Chains A and B, each alone.
Chain A
Amino acid sequence: MSGGPAVRVSIESSCEKQVQEVSLDGTETYVPPLSMSQNLAKLAQRIDFSQGSDSDEEGTEAESRELEWTKQEQEEDEGTVKFQPSLWPWDSVRNNLRSALTEMCVLHDVLSIVKEKKYMALDPVSQDPAVTKTPQVFQLISKKKSLATAAQILLKGAEKLSKSVAENQENRRQRDFNSELLRLRSQWKLRKVGDKILGDLSYRSAGSLFPHQGTFEVIKNTDIDLDKKIPEDHCPLNVQIPSDLEGSAYIKVSIQKQAPDIGDLGTVNLFRRQPKTKPGSQAWHLKLEAAQNVLLCKEIFAQLSREAVQIKSQIPHIVVKNQIISQPFPGLQLSISLCHSTGEKKNQRASPEKTKPDDHLYVLEHNLHQLIREFHKQTLSSVVMPHPASAPFGHKRLRLAGPMAYDKAEINALQQSEGLLEKIIKQAKHIFLRSRTARTIDSLASRIEDPQIQAHWSNINDVYESSVKVLITSQGYEQICKSIQLQLNIGVEQIRVVHRDGRVITLSHQEQELQDFLLSQMSQHQIHAVQQLAKVMGWHVLSFSNHVGHGPIESIGNASAITVASPNGEYAISVRNGPESGCKVLVQFPRSQAKDLPKSDVVQDAKWNYLRGLYKEVHWSRMEGKNFVYKMELLMAALTPCP
């Protein structure tokens, strides 16, 4: 600063701030240090322009220089003032000289300004107004200048601020990408190839042997327009999956009936899964999961079709395009198909599918997925898992084969493994057999009211075996007539019936066999019921046969018969019941009651009257009573004399 003596340069250490206020708790509030421009403004305010010896008329460039000088001078002054006391001999001379120099400088400045005629003009006017006017002009100019500087500083600051905001946003996006990548990394296998980030979709690490690459690429999705508002669900990370894994896929297993008599399978119509965006889950996540599902479905199908070609069965499996067709039972077609739909096709497909009945076998579809995972696990444990170098690490029981000296047959039994297709066909057979058995029993139960059939299905089944307990009872007589209890073990190819007394009957998959068997059991039940009833009523069983060897031949099973005598032996009831011919009830009257008995010459003695007489058939359908056993009870009661 080329200030004259009137300007006092304040010398104070910059580090010490002025205390503005001391609060009650002792904290001191400092006056914030002035910025350079503020400082300058403050200093400029102090200039007394009225003294007329100041020069401030340099350009803005000079001003910045001036600022620097001020600093330097401050330091210099500090040095001089502190360490050189102003008492040395030439002090006054120096001061005068210095003030003279300053005056000269100012004069020079003023002159130069006047010369430019831009800010100042020297007019020969009266002394007074000029004296008052000139400092005002100076003041105005200096104020203007300082305002301009302040504005400039403000503008600079604003620019900086806006820049930093933009930078922040950019940073945040970058950080978002990184955090998304981290999340992706925690769930998927990623690796860096060149400047790309590739991921692995395949189940290879889980033991899959499917040759598909299954790689996806991670794409940074940050170049969006800054001005536009970022959509809510925007994700800075995007994935690109191979084109053949796009869309959604599922394995469809269905059983079609070629003949209409096989009946409905009773499949449940589950809703189709829709790729619905769950809140909180990322787009890439859904995309990758869908792609992985497609890959798994493809693998299952590839495995199945390979097996379908390799396995030799009586009726060869057919592989056509994306469908495998097999015939588990005659007239029955199991089809496994791979449905892969990319987004666009979906709309076209939806319409024909709606019209068709949904014949998915969801259980089998689920089981297929389970089986392939089991298969993965097997390969994983035999190939990848750590194993001793000296020996293979196979099946546990196979490991024992050597030391336990297994012979060929045992080793064979250990080694044979079923393929996916064989297993699924077996499961399909079982499911079909089970549903058909249920249907047979239900239709019989609804068709025949007397006797009643009850079926108790077990809730927990094996995939290849389930069981049902069938009870044949008569309504109202459940306690006394429970002779027929059947346990039906439904397997893959056949149904094993275990009787209450331990007899085992094996039925084939044919529906008719089971139906016939149940019908014959029902007919036997009636006779058993009569036997039980006789016991309760005090009648005597004279004869009993499950399989009567005479009379009309039944087309199903055999007729059974029973004869019971009343407690006093006067009457006898004879019942014959066949599955087809129905029941026939005869009552034998005592000879004494028979009116139309021809008088014989031989048997005239009264004692012969105690012999049994003729049989008379009961019009069973006209008998009162709601069912067979009730009718029989009424008949027995009628024939029992009152005590």
Chain B
Amino acid sequence: MGVTCVCQVPILEGKSVQQTVDMLHKKLEQLGAVKQGSFFVDCETYHATSNASGKKRQPSKLLYVMHNSETPLSCLALFEGGPYLTADVNFDVLMVKLKSHFQNAKGHKVESRGTRYRYCDFLVKVGTVTMSSSARGISVEVEYCACVVPGDCWNLMKEFMQSFLGSNVPELPSVFAAKPEGLYAPVDCMDTMVQYLELFSKVRKQQVIPGASVR
């Protein structure tokens, strides 16, 4: 588990989602990256029902339950802005049991699926973000496996990302910006998931791209 950066790549003018993804693949392969299986990240949304929020009628937070194929035995539950929870896969079963407190928002399931590329110490995952079977955008996750301190390798990652993303290189993700400077603060999988969550909520809010269904 290294430092990861998740960003959204805008769809090129006049191209479909799939074409843009293919172009990214091509660029990566030209760089010398090797295809290494596939990956997926999914996210389900749960509303807290009224009896969960107690007597005071607070504006209830949404609970997101996410899975990442990188950590196949884990299930991650996040509230927006925290707290975050890492559990094993039985958590899904637990959520079914908690039906009376948390209701699954069926239509809100977002997932990103795609191919995994390895380029030396870098792991690049290009995925298509889909929401209720319509493609909404492209996610690119870059992981530098050789380092766990974001500050130490951010410039290197940025340079690497420039080589295939061009001008779409993101800024230092906000999760890392919050980390204390100078101290040893290693990343964990939750940083990646928070970034994915931010990306997904951005995708959820944006308008449906006309005519951009999956293939």
Contacts and interface: CB of A to CB of B under 8 A. Distances in A.
Interface of A: 390-391, 398-399, 401-408, 411
Nearest to A411: B73
Interface of B: 1, 70-76, 86-90, 93, 188-190
A391 B87 CA distance: 13
B11 to A, nearest CB: 30
A98 to B, nearest CB: 107
B189 A402 contact: no
Nearest to B193: A405
A393 to B, nearest CB: 13
A150 to B, nearest CB: 93
Contacts of B86: 402-405
A390 B76 CA distance: 19
26 contacts: A390-B93, A391-B88, A391-B90, A398-B73, A399-B88, A401-B74, A402-B73, A402-B75, A402-B86, A402-B88, A402-B89, A403-B74, A403-B86, A404-B74, A404-B86, A405-B74, A405-B86, A405-B188, A405-B189, A406-B71, A406-B73, A407-B70, A407-B71, A408-B70, A408-B71, A411-B73
Contacts of A408: 70-72
Contacts of B74: 401-406
Given A401-B73, A406-B71, 4 more contacts: A398-B73, A402-B73, A405-B86, A405-B190
Contacts of A398: 73
A387 to B, nearest CB: 14
A466 B188 CA distance: 38
A390 B189 CA distance: 25
A411 B90 contact: no
B101 to A, nearest CB: 19
- Interface-centre pick from A402, A406, A411 (highest chain B CB count, 10 A): A402
Contacts of B73: 398, 401-402, 406, 411
A531 B89 CA distance: 67
A403 B72 CA distance: 11
Contacts of B87: 402-403
Nearest to A401: B73
- Interface-centre pick from B73, B75, B188, B189 (highest chain A CB count, 10 A): B73
A377 B117 CA distance: 41
A577 to B, nearest CB: 45
A411 B69 CA distance: 12
Contacts of A404: 74, 86
A406 B70 CA distance: 8
A402 B73 CA distance: 5
A407 B1 contact: yes
A407 B86 CA distance: 13
Nearest to B89: A402
Contact of B71 (A390, A391, A399, A405): A405
A401 B88 contact: yes
A408 B74 CA distance: 11
A411 B88 CA distance: 13
B153 to A, nearest CB: 18
Contacts of B189: 405, 407
Interface pairs A-B: 10 shortest CB-CB: A402-B88, A405-B189, A401-B73, A405-B74, A402-B73, A405-B71, A402-B74, A405-B86, A407-B70, A407-B71
A390 B1 CA distance: 29
A569 B75 CA distance: 79
Contacts of B75: 402
Contacts of A407: 1, 70-71, 189
B172 to A, nearest CB: 23
Nearest to A414: B73
Nearest to B37: A408
B100 to A, nearest CB: 19
Contacts of A401: 73-74, 88
A194 to B, nearest CB: 47
Contacts of A406: 71, 73-74
A566 B52 CA distance: 94
A396 to B, nearest CB: 13
Contacts of A402: 73-75, 86-90
Contacts of B70: 407-408
Contact of A390 (B72, B90, B188, B190): B90
Nearest to A402: B88
Contacts of B188: 405
B122 to A, nearest CB: 15
A399 B88 CA distance: 8
B115 to A, nearest CB: 16
A390 B96 CA distance: 14
A401 B86 CA distance: 10
B201 to A, nearest CB: 21
Nearest to B71: A405
B94 to A, nearest CB: 9
Contacts of A391: 88, 90
Nearest to B188: A405
B183 to A, nearest CB: 22
Contacts of B89: 402
Nearest to B190: A405
A398 B74 CA distance: 11
A390 B86 CA distance: 18
A331 B90 CA distance: 52
B55 to A, nearest CB: 32
Contacts of B76: 405
Contacts of B88: 391, 399, 401-403
A390 B89 CA distance: 11
A403 B76 CA distance: 9
Contacts of A399: 88
Nearest to A400: B88
A407 B187 CA distance: 13
Contacts of A403: 74, 86-88
A408 B73 CA distance: 9
B170 to A, nearest CB: 23
A382 to B, nearest CB: 17
A401 B189 CA distance: 13
B151 to A, nearest CB: 22
A403 B1 CA distance: 15
Nearest to A399: B88
A407 B74 CA distance: 9
Nearest to B70: A407
A407 to B, nearest CB: 5
Contacts of A411: 72-73
Nearest to B86: A405
A391 B189 CA distance: 23
B70 to A, nearest CB: 5
A405 B86 CA distance: 7
Nearest to A398: B73
A408 B70 CA distance: 6
Contacts of B93: 390
A408 to B, nearest CB: 6
A390 to B, nearest CB: 6
A609 B38 CA distance: 84
A394 to B, nearest CB: 11
A402 B71 CA distance: 8
A390 B70 CA distance: 24
A412 to B, nearest CB: 10
A416 to B, nearest CB: 15
B30 to A, nearest CB: 27
B168 to A, nearest CB: 27
A74 B188 CA distance: 112
B28 to A, nearest CB: 20
A411 to B, nearest CB: 6
